[in-house]
Amino acid sequence: MLPRQLLSKEVAILLVGCGGTGSTMATGLVHLHQAMLAFGHPKGLHVTLVDGDRISRANCVRQPFSESEIGLYKADVLATRINLFWGLAWESDIRFLDRQWNSPQSADIIISCVDTRKARKLITETSTYQNAMYWLDLGNAAESGQFVLGQTHTRTVRKGEIRLPNVAELFPEIINPKLDAKDKLPSCSALEALESQSPFVNQTLAYQALAMLARFFRHGKLTYHGAFANLATGRVSSLPVDPCVWQRITSSSATGSRVATQRARRARIPA
């Protein structure tokens, strides 16, 4: 159930990552803000865009940046563009995340659109995360991806309500920095960018996640809190709000982790 306070106050959102998925989320959140106001929400959203990365030439292929903006901070460009066009006062934060990072303002919802497990783990170690109510994480590979909305570790629920597990609780490997070495590094050319990630995979995930948030604020509850999309097969599988499904997922993740550890020990390498 959507907490009552989020229906009566300005909802503070921290969007971490302004790349392919994050930039789509940023502009999509404007439309969510307008929809909330139209449905009677008193104040809508206030979004802070967080990214210490600057725009490169390769970013001008899959991301909404132009060559004239090369060298500028992604977060600054997006926030300025949104504020000028829609008359908002959203903010940007051009710092990279580390363990000492903390948002000047508290966040109700953290949305992460980052491309490493290390970055996700850093998010969970910040005080901003500890004080937030929800964490929505989006991630993708070349032709597939997922998004999962969950409650932070420190948030409690009222009696009779179901607590939404977050992505790190369902899939612990997603915050294991040791696995980052197996992932392909970010592309440094336009051709590599297109080969490493299919066109529109970022937009597909972002708009699916935005549609879920819209339903959450419109109806106050959800029947699903995430999904897995595959552009190669055209399939989208939802993640239902169902403790039995969560138990199967966590059991499977635990089994996979044990198998990986056993294989590593046999190979005499650190797991």
Rounded mean pLDDT of the chain?
88
Nearest to 112 by CA among 81, 145, 87: 145
By C-alpha distance, which of 195, 196, 198 is closest to 234?
Answer: 198
State the pairing for strand pair 45-50/91-93. Answer: parallel
| 251 within a domain of the structure (yes/no) | no
For residue 107, pLDDT beyond 80: yes
Q: Please give the average per-residue pLDDT across 155-159, as a whole number.
A: 66
Could you tell me if residue 189 is inside a domain? yes
Alpha-carbon span 136 to 47, nearest angstrom? 14
Q: Which of 199, 210, 63, 214 is closest to 147 using CA atoms?
A: 210
pLDDT at 128 over 50: yes
Residue 218 confidence (pLDDT)? 95
Region 17-27: what's the mean pLDDT? 97
**Would residue 40 count as lying in a domain?**
yes
Q: Spell out the residues 6+ positions from residue 140 whose beta carbon is closer than 8 angstroms to its own.
A: 21, 146, 197, 201, 202, 205
% residues pLDDT > 90 (the chain): 72
Percent above pLDDT 70 for the chain: 86
Judged against a pLDDT cut of 60, whether residue 244 lies above it is answered with yes
- Please report the pLDDT score of residue 263 as a whole number: 42
Higher pLDDT, 181 or 29: 29
Q: How far apart are CA 209 and CA 230, in angstroms?
A: 15
pLDDT at 205 over 80: yes
The residue assigned the tokens 């504020």 is 83
**How much is the average pLDDT of 69-87?**
98
* CATH code of the domain in which 188 resides: 3.40.50.720
Rg of the chain over Cα atoms, rounded to whole angstroms, equals: 19
Residue 146 phi/psi, 5-degree rounding, is -150, 160
Helices (H), the chain: 20-38, 59-62, 74-86, 117-124, 127-131, 167-170, 190-196, 201-219, 243-266
Answer whether residue 258 shows pLDDT above 80. Answer: no
Q: Residue 179: which domain range? A: 4-240
In a domain, 226, yes or no: yes
Strands 235-240 and 45-50, sheet pairing = unpaired
CA separation for the pair 117, 42 (Å, rounded): 36
pLDDT confidence of 12, banded at 50, 70, 90?
very high
Residue 263 domain flag? no
Q: Torsions phi, psi of 52, nearest 5? A: -90, 5
Report the distance separating Cα 73 and Cα 109, nearest Å. Answer: 23
Q: How many domains does the chain divide into?
A: 1
- Residue 260: pLDDT band by 50, 70, 90 thresholds? very low
Collapse the DSSP code of 239 into the 3-class scheme (helix H, G, I; strand E, B; otherwise coil) and give the result. Answer: strand
258 in a domain, yes or no?
Answer: no
Residue 53: predicted pLDDT: 96
Is residue 257, in this structure, part of any structural domain at all? no
Tell me whether residue 249 is in a domain. Answer: no
Give the integer Cα–Cα distance in Å for 84 and 189: 30
